[in-house]
Amino acid sequence: MAKNQFDGFWVIQLSLLLALYLQALPMPPALLYFRPEWLGLVLLFWSLSLPQRVGIFHGFFWGLMLDLIEGTLLGHNALAFALLGYLGNRFYQRVRMYSLPKQAALVFVLLSIVQLVFQWLQGIFGPMAGISYLLLPSLISAVLWPWLFTLMQGLKRRLSLI
């Protein structure tokens, strides 16, 4: 008997596309450091929730799309988000047991690692940006994690994605 269940591939891709759009929205230069890592948050949610479907390849692909949109050297964001997809797949069993505040702290750590890798790559291949506000997007993303997690978990349950 064939399964008649919703695959959810397009829901995952559309949510990542929406996160890419939010990540690439133009903002005043003074507010750029306060922009959350939307693509990293959504990628991390899907790699923690559905690790058999979303992981390194999705991180690399959507990071490459972000590189194309932002005009950065091709591969910087791709490598950083592939690392995020790997870390999400590696620690998904542990993270699922944590409460939302502990998950938010872990999200801060994981997104900070991605930010540091991205800045390290920028420093190797070009002028490095100021590091005074480097981890502020990770902090804001960690504060938004409980709300985004609840919203995306509701979407996942409503569409019965497995």
Torsion from C-alpha of 152, 37, 62, 72, nearest 10 degrees = 170
Please state the domain count of the chain.
1
Torsion from C-alpha of 45, 51, 53, 55, nearest 10 degrees = 80
Tell whether 152 is covered by a domain.
yes
Tell whether 1 is covered by a domain.
no
Give the residue numbers spanning the domain of 100: 9-158
CB 143 within 8 A of CB 39: no
Q: What does the pLDDT profile of the chain (162 residues) look like in tens digits?
A: 445 455 788 899 999 999 999 999 998 988 888 999 999 999 999 999 999 999 999 999 999 999 999 888 889 899 999 999 999 999 998 888 999 999 999 999 999 999 999 888 888 877 666 666 788 999 999 999 999 999 999 999 998 887
**pTM, two decimal places:** 0.90
